[in-house]
Amino acid sequence: MSAAPRIDVLGLFPEWIRQFTEIGVVGRAMRRRLLHCEAWQLRDFADDVHRTVDDRTYGGGPGMVMLIEPLRRALTAIRAADPRPAHTIYLSPQGRVLDQAKVRELASRPRLVLLCGRYEGVDERLLDAEVDEEISIGDYVLSGGEPAACVLIDAVGRLVEGALNDPASAAQDSFEDGLLDCPHFTRPEQHELGTVPAVLTSGDHKAIARWRRQQSLGRTWQRRPDLLEKIALSRADQALLDQFRLDLQQTEPDAD
Ligand code: ADE
């Protein structure tokens, strides 16, 4: 068996990452040695007694910028810790927004290095020289990259082989085929909040698969029409969606 995929995280708050990677699916994958995560303290690579890792921004203005040299020394040490090529990512709101296709691509790499910023950012020259890509987890600003790194580790970690108890559940996730997931129900069948759709208790597996597909299509159309524009629907899918819209018109005539 080849060595487990490895994710190294560099920043000022390695405790964030250490605690996060002990919990849930990622924690289990770590304990089973299916995934290896390591958190590094950037201050350990400073060269003064104050452990300075930032300085004022050229051109003036508020905020501090992370220095080139401590980052460079840290990245050299991190890369030397494992011989496999490391794909280096800087987490920032300026990056390309993370989606499931990117998560799948990252999950296929043997080694990732995640760089977490604080302050106003990182000296641009370091990014140009050492970083392969910049990733954002959404159009909002966090106080630092660590929570974004945790999001990325979770999304990638659950795709590592053996991380999920039931691998089929990853295949049916939202976004895996460009659509949102269908609704799910469990016992009791009858409840004051409603009754489980009859098709799901019919035992007719073909009808159930058709209903689920139709719900996925319908929900995506209702909630994330932007996703539908990115995929080409088969004739069968288009027919399911048309029927969903027709049914909706009949139950909610005012709905668009
Ligand atoms: N750091 C600060 N905000 C961020 C965001 N939205 N995504 C990734 N890293 C960040």
In a domain, 163, yes or no: no
Closest by Cα among 72, 250, 103 to 174: 103
Residue 79 and residue 34 share a domain: yes
**Domain termination residue (choose one: 100, 122, 157):** 157
**127-152 pLDDT per residue, tens:** 999 999 999 999 999 999 999 999 99
Please count the other Cβ atoms lying within 10 Å of the Cβ belonging to residue 156. Answer: 25
Give the distance (Å) from ligand 1 centre to CA of residue 133.
13
pLDDT digits (tens, 9 = 90+) for 190-201: 999 999 999 999
Residue 232 maps to a domain: yes
Residue 167 counted as domain residue: no
Judge whether 208 lies within some domain: yes
Name the domain count of the chain. Answer: 2
Same domain for 237 and 199: yes
In a domain, 199, yes or no: yes
The answer to whether position 44 is within a domain reads yes
Q: What is the pLDDT of residue 1?
A: 58
* Centroid of chain to Cα 116: 15
- The last residue of one of the domains, among 157, 181, 208, is 157
Provide the pLDDT for residue 168: 78
Look at residue 83 in the predicted model and tell me its pLDDT: 97
Phi, psi torsion values for 253, nearest 5 degrees: -60, -20
Q: pLDDT exceeding 70 applies to what percent of the chain?
A: 99
**Pair 201, 236 in one domain:** yes
State the CATH number of the domain containing residue 184.
1.10.1270.20
Please, what sign has the CA dihedral across residues 104, 107, 113, 116?
positive
Give the structural domain span for 214: 172-251
Among the listed ranges 66-75, 199-208, 226-235, 245-254, which one has the minimum average pLDDT value? 245-254
Q: Where residue 166 falls among pLDDT bands split at 50, 70, 90? A: confident
Q: Are residues 112 and 31 in the same domain?
A: yes
Q: What is the pLDDT of residues 51-66, one digit of tens each?
A: 999 999 999 999 999 9
**Does 114 fall in a domain?**
yes
In this structure, what CATH number is given to the domain that contains residue 145?
A: 3.40.1280.10
Residue nearest to atom 2 of ligand 1 (CA): 142
Q: Ligand 1 centre and the CA of 121: distance in Å?
A: 11
Residues 140 and 32 in one domain: yes
Tell me the C-alpha distance between 249 and 73, whole Å: 62
181 and 237 co-located in one domain: yes
Mean pLDDT of 21-34: 97
The answer, yes or no, to whether any atom of ligand 1 lies below 6 A from the CB of 145, is yes
Residue 120: active-site member: yes
Residue 190 falls inside a structural domain = yes
Spot the catalytic one: 134, 154, 173, 237: 173
Q: Is the pLDDT of residue 176 over 80?
A: no
**101/207 same-domain check:** no
- Domain identity same for 152 and 192: no
| Residue 255 pLDDT | 61
Domain boundary among 90, 124, 157: 157
Q: Where are the beta strands (DSSP E) in the chain?
A: 6-11, 36-41, 54-56, 64-66, 87-97, 111-116, 121-122, 133-136, 190-191, 194-195
With a threshold of 0.85, does the pTM exceed it?
yes
Q: Are residues 55 and 143 in the same domain?
A: yes
pLDDT of 235-255, one tens digit each?
999 999 999 999 999 988 776
Cβ-contact 100, 231 below 8 angstroms: no
Tell the burial category of 173 from Cβ atoms under 10 Å away from its Cβ (0-12, 13-18, 19+).
Answer: middle
One-letter identity of residue 206: K
**183 belongs to the catalytic site:** no
- The answer to whether residues 95 and 180 belong to one domain is no
> Is the same domain home to 108 and 177?
no
Q: Which of 120, 154, 181, 237 is catalytic?
A: 120
pLDDT band at 13 (very low <50, low <70, confident <90, very high): very high
Name the one residue in this structure whose structure tokens are 């993370």: 98
**Ligand 1 neighbour 119 (Cβ under 6 A):** no
Give yes or no: residues 193 and 152 share one domain: no
Q: Is the CB of 93 under 6 A from ligand 1?
A: yes
Residue 165 has pLDDT above 90, yes or no: no
Question: Under the phi-then-psi rule, with left for phi > 0, alpha for psi from -120 to 50, and beta for the rest, what region is 61?
Answer: left
